[in-house]
Amino acid sequence: MSGDAAPSIARRLASMLYEFLLLFAIGFLATWLFQFAAGTLAIEGWRRHLLQLFMLAVYASYFLWCWLRGGQTLAMKTWRIRLVAKEGHRALAPKAALLRFVCALFLVPTAIGIFWAMVDRDRQFLHDRLAGSLLIPAP
């Protein structure tokens, strides 16, 4: 890794915990809006699948907007962590941000990416390795 040491794993886990709380609030509001638009509180059958797709779109929009706009979500700003492209420490490209989101979608719930960071030479998560992104301390 060139110059910048990765934020500690404890700091990144604290950021992930804060992110989870924010995602819960975002999900709660999005589900309420979906139920209001659907005209029913009973979400079953095809509406359930539509809600799941809607939630995926909401979460993807949140992360991609934050990562592409400044490299930080609210939790990352709080814990002073920035997401950049590995090459040149520039802003992340949309394709890389989308790849990071999709990889994290599968790796974060299984904790594989977290365990990977413990043995990675640069202490990066697996989804960052796969997407060509890098977590660095923010000033």
Q: Please state, in angstroms and rounded to a whole number, the distance separating the CA atoms of residues 68 and 43.
A: 33
Question: What value does the mean pLDDT take over residues 73-98?
Answer: 95
> Quick count: other Cβ atoms within 10 Å of Cβ 51?
17
Condensed to tens digits (0 to 9), the pLDDT of residues 114-130 reads 899 999 998 999 999 99
Q: Given pLDDT bands bounded at 50, 70 and 90, which one contains residue 4?
A: low
Contact assessment for residue 78 and residue 138, using Cβ atoms and an 8 Å cutoff: no
pLDDT at residue 97 tops 60: yes
d(CA 119, CA 46): 43
Residue 102, Cβ neighbours under 10 Å: how many? 14
* Averaged pLDDT of the chain: 92
pLDDT of residue 2: 45
| CA atoms within 13 Å, Cβ hemisphere of 73 | 21
Reply yes or no on whether the pLDDT at 1 is more than 50: no
Q: What is the DSSP letter of 88?
A: T
The answer to whether the beta carbons of residues 77 and 132 sit under 8 Å apart is no
Helix or strand or coil: residue 111?
coil
Could you count the other beta carbons within 10 Å of the beta carbon of residue 28? 10
Say what the pLDDT of residue 44 is. Answer: 79
pLDDT at 3 exceeding the cut of 60: no
Distance of CA 69 to the CA centre of its chain: 14
- Least confident piece of the model among 1-5, 41-45, 82-86, 101-105: 1-5
Q: How confident is the model over 77-93, as a mean pLDDT? A: 93
